[in-house]
Amino acid sequence: MQLKQWEDSALVKAYQQGNEKGLEELVTRHRQRIYAYILTRVHDKDLAEDLFQDAFIKVIKTLKKGRYNEEGKFLPWVLRISHNLIIDHFRRNKRMPMMETTEDFDIFDVISDAGLSAENQIIKDQIVQDVRKLIQQLPAEQKEVLIMRHYAEMSFKDIAEQTGVSINTALGRMRYALINLRKLIEEHNMNMTLS
């Protein structure tokens, strides 16, 4: 059987047992999706390439140390690593863009990054800070789903597998997280717009 037909978990095991082709196939298989994920957040090809390489350096180190958790799927795991590297990059540069989603109500969409004035950038930074504080007030299960969906951009199917619940339960938790965020915004009388 050719490596292309192997499951990700089999390729990981092969690599951990010394077969470099296992990792090569994983990189080939997932490169486009991981790179695109990074690029859509950093909007800079050179930076995206650097972060992609950093992500796989972390992957290699973790695999070589035998600390990869088989419970998780390989691609969502690498996307989480990539996401954390993106956050670290923006923290170092004091600027964190928000992710877009297709939910009906999405407080993350109230912020636009394009061409902000200095005043609007300050307001945007404050909104981001406020939203992060509000997210911390959510029940743990809702917070977990919201973070996986918006920050790790995981599908509800992947979220359900990762948390051990049905897709409907994951969707329900997301819905209640957004409802509760809306209530918190109203309770705190917060303005979530730039103008």
CA distance 54 to 34: 12
Identify the pLDDT of residue 54: 94
**Domain final position from 96, 112, 140:** 96
Q: For residue 192, give Cα distances in angstroms to 121, 134, 185.
A: 13, 12, 8
**Domain final position from 30, 64, 96:** 96
Asked if pLDDT for residue 181 goes beyond 90, the answer is no
**Domain final position from 75, 96, 117:** 96
CA distance 174 to 193: 22
Asked if pLDDT for residue 191 goes beyond 90, the answer is no
Domain count, the chain: 2
Q: What is the CATH number of the domain that holds 87?
A: 1.10.1740.10
- Helix H, strand E, coil C: the string for 124-156 is HHHHHHHHHHHHHCCCHHHHHHHHHHHCCCCCH
Residues ≥6 apart with Cβ < 8 Å to 116: 124, 194
Identify the pLDDT of residue 94: 61
Residues 164 and 193 in one domain: yes
In contact, 82 and 26? CB cutoff 8 Å: no
Domain containing 151 equals 98-195
In contact, 135 and 143? CB cutoff 8 Å: yes
Apex CA 162: angle with CA 160 and CA 165, to 5°?
35
Tell whether the torsion through CA atoms of 102, 105, 107 and 111 is positive or negative. positive
Q: What is the CATH number of the domain that holds 151?
A: 1.10.10.10
Residues 135 and 55 in one domain: no
What does the pLDDT look like over 71-109, one tens digit per residue?
668 888 898 899 889 888 887 776 544 444 444 444 454
Residues 51 and 67 in one domain: yes
Asked if pLDDT for residue 163 goes beyond 50, the answer is yes
Q: How confident is the model at residue 116 (pLDDT cuts 50, 70, 90)?
A: low
Residues 50 and 108 in one domain: no
Total-model pTM: 0.50
